[in-house]
Structure 1
Amino acid sequence: MFHKAGERELAVKQAQNYDGGRDGWVLGVGCGLYLRVLYQSGMIPSTAAVVSSENRNVGGQFKNNTKTMVDIKQQFVELIRNRSEENFESLRDDFAKRRIGKCMETLRTELDSFIRVMYLGRISNINERERLIKQTLSGEKWTILTPNNKWKQVTDKDMVDKANELMGYVQYVYKFGCGFIHLSDFHNYATINPFDKLSETEKSDVKKYLNKYHHFPIGNELTVESITNYIPGVFEKISSNLTYYFGAIINNGMINT
């Protein structure tokens, strides 16, 4: 499966040692691909690859977290990972059959997962982060406490505001995702351009990401047809980095860039 000795160990080590560093996304591309192969081949058990060995003592007990909270975080990562694997298979099949509307929907679903993981990774209060994870696992909407001590649902604006805290690749893809997930009417894209429903800011964010990381001509109009050939590459890059950032969720790390 791996052509060089130690490649499996390198992939796992990169996930274990994620520190939210500035260049984390670069390592993440290769690491995500390695971990996908490891998961599918059964060479490592699901989320075990991203649980840092530093969090265990000789007896196998978690030093800094209760077993229950670690299990909850692992369940969350497993949920997102399974969703990502299903998205990967769906997009591969739909793209081969040129069902582009479905490909766009799948990409939007993957971006939703990415945005939520990034949002969690910017919350320094671990108890608050784990509360939101519990809400996900129980099928509840995310809620936050307002300055008036009242609970409200996390809105798109709350998600977008987090982008101001980010830098580099993560900020680009986060803004891209926040715009992209507002798209609709994919099945009628031959007569109605879904990108026309985005704000000018959202369209600009989508274009900037595609141009910087996938060489989309900045002067081109955004249409389903114009981005079709970019969809597989966009999905793979986002999916790979999503896998890499699981380490920050498991190990209570912060995601910065």
Structure 2
Amino acid sequence: MITTNVEIFVRQVKKRSRENAESLSLLYERRLHANVVPILRQELDSLVRVIFLLSQADRSYRSALITDSVNGRPWTKKGAKGRIRDREMVELSKYLFNWARNVYQFGCAFIHLSNFHDYATRDPMESVSKADRATIASYLNYYHSVELGPNVTFSEILPLLPKVFEKISSNLDCYLKVLEEDGDLS
């Protein structure tokens, strides 16, 4: 049986997602919250990449990106020199998921050594702008049926992190199916 690059790509994304789910569960259970958020960010990274692929109407370019991913090469811009930056993919995905940018930025603060790692003493949400805090609370309220105020705290968000992961992961599964069927975002 011949395995296509799309099948390999989907397999590696699903494997990463399964490991992310298991890692998040273990880390959350052990209350290692500074490592839970980067797992959310990794899952979002997969979702953002799949959305980016689905946004490419030129199937030969999409195929080239998948081939690059399967072979461990960075994605490059179509017809131009330079890598496709994560920020560009996140900007594209925010048109489907407004919350993507917030999760991505929040996750980055936990990936890089920052004041967010002192979350047991200082609330990381105090470092987030008031507008972004209110936006985060609004998204959590809408997607997870909670009632958080605009000055949401990290301790209020913590119980929701597994649900946020599940939401990202279920969206990823749906978009992977579309990719496997050679569909697009329309």
Q: Would you call these one fold, judging by a TM-score over 0.5? A: yes
Alignment of 1:47-58 (within 5 A): none
For 1:116, the aligned partner's letter is: R
User: 1:155 & 1:207 partners in 2: Cα distance?
Assistant: 27
Q: Bigger relative contact order, structure 1 or 2, given CA contacts below 8 A and separation 6+? A: 1
Q: TM-score, normalised by structure 1?
A: 0.61
- Equivalent in the alignment of 2:6: 73
User: 1:198 & 1:119 partners in 2: Cα distance?
Assistant: 27
- Equivalent in the alignment of 1:118: 51
Question: Are residues 133 and 197 of structure 1, via their aligned partners in 2, closer, same or farther at CA, if it must alter by over 3 Å?
Answer: farther
State whether structure 2 residue 151 is matched by structure 1 residue 220.
yes
- Equivalent in the alignment of 1:29: none
- Please, which of 175, 178, 185 is the counterpart of residue 245 of structure 1? 175
User: 1:204 & 1:122 partners in 2: Cα distance?
Assistant: 29
State whether structure 2 residue 113 is matched by structure 1 residue 182.
no
Question: Are residues 220 and 203 of structure 1, via their aligned partners in 2, closer, same or farther at CA, if it must alter by over 3 Å?
Answer: closer
Contact 2:134-2:151 at 8 Å conserved across structures: no
Q: CA deviation at 1:191?
A: 4.0
Contact 1:179-1:206 at 8 Å conserved across structures: no
Q: Which has the higher Rg, Structure 1 or Structure 2?
A: 1
Contact 2:130-2:151 at 8 Å conserved across structures: no
**Which digits, 9 at most, give the CA deviation of each residue in 1:47-81, with x for residues without a partner?**
xxxxxxxxxxxxx9xxxxxx66xx10011011010
For 2:106, the aligned partner's letter is: F
Instruction: Figure out how many residues of one structure are paired with residues of the other and give that number.
Output: 181
User: 1:200 & 1:74 partners in 2: Cα distance?
Assistant: 43
Alignment of 1:42-191 (within 5 A): 71-145=4-78, 149-163=79-93, 166=95, 170-184=96-110, 185=114, 186-191=116-121
User: 2:75 & 2:137 partners in 1: Cα distance?
Assistant: 29
Q: CA deviation at 1:150?
A: 3.1
For 1:89, the aligned partner's letter is: E
Percent identity over the alignment?
Answer: 31
Question: Are residues 207 and 183 of structure 1, via their aligned partners in 2, closer, same or farther at CA, if it must alter by over 3 Å?
Answer: farther
Contact 1:179-1:198 at 8 Å conserved across structures: no
**Which digits, 9 at most, give the CA deviation of each residue in 1:16-54, with x for residues without a partner?**
xxxxxxxxxxxxxxxxxxxxxxxxxxxxxxxxxxxxxxx
Q: CA deviation at 1:199?
A: 6.0
Kindly report the root-mean-square deviation, in angstroms, between the aligned alpha carbons of the 2 structures.
2.6
Q: TM-score, normalised by structure 2?
A: 0.82
Contact 1:119-1:162 at 8 Å conserved across structures: yes
